[in-house]
Amino acid sequence: MTMTTVERDARLGRWLRLLVWGGAVFAWLVPVAAKLLADIPWTTFDFVAWGVMLLVAAGVCEVGLRLSGALAYRAGVVVAAGTSFLIVWSNLAVGIIGDENNPLNQIFFGVIAVGIVGAFLARFRARGMALAMVVTAAAQFGTAFVALAYEHVVFAIVGVFSLGWLLAAWLFREAARGEG
């Protein structure tokens, strides 16, 4: 007996949710174990902030997984949320330009805001999400010119983030093709 597309997508959705939430729990437990075994210099605030960041990223993925049954759309959401997570994490932990206290680092939060506003303007539809992610990638790439004036290595880091947004755009475009 063959599985219908609806059944397959429901099963895939369950596995993706398990992967996202299980990954978030695992990611939270890694520094807990490191604190117990190696006495890393994390405070209670660090653990709470890390947990909140993981909850927000996993929550965004959860909502995105429910918005469409298309694998490409779901992957696009996970890539976009993951790219945002990496930007926030690296920016809060050590800063992307200089250290975490450098006010120029605020431009990276602006890039995430561009993606969020674009997603709402697109009403979370695949075709619009693809365009929103391309615009977000362009905004991300624009930060490279600010960063280049400060540190050359940041140019490469910004390039990696831009590739994340472009990958999400491609995935949303593929999902839009499947919608007809």
Structure confidence by residue, pLDDT tens digits, 157-170 = 888 999 999 999 99
**Rounded mean pLDDT, 6-24:** 83
Q: Which two tokens stand for residue 129?
A: 């999400």
**Rounded mean pLDDT, 22-49:** 91
Range ranked top by mean pLDDT from 57-66, 90-99, 143-152: 57-66
Query: Which tops the pLDDT comparison, 84 or 65?
Result: 84
| pLDDT, position 2 | 64
Q: Which of 52-61, 109-118, 144-153 has the lowest mean pLDDT?
A: 144-153
For the entire predicted model, the pTM comes to 0.87
**Rounded mean pLDDT, 133-160:** 86
For all residues of the chain together, what is the average pLDDT? 89
pLDDT of 3 above 70: no
| Phi then psi dihedrals of residue 100, to 5 deg | -65, -15
In angstroms, rounded to a whole number, what is the distance separating the alpha carbons of residues 81 and 87? 10
Q: List helix spans (H) across the chain.
A: 5-38, 44-67, 71-93, 106-121, 126-150, 153-179
Query: Confidence class of residue 41 from pLDDT cuts 50, 70 and 90?
Result: confident
**Rounded mean pLDDT, 14-34:** 91
Q: Is 169 exposed, middle or buried (0-12, 13-18, 19+ CB in 10 A)?
A: buried
| pLDDT, position 5 | 66
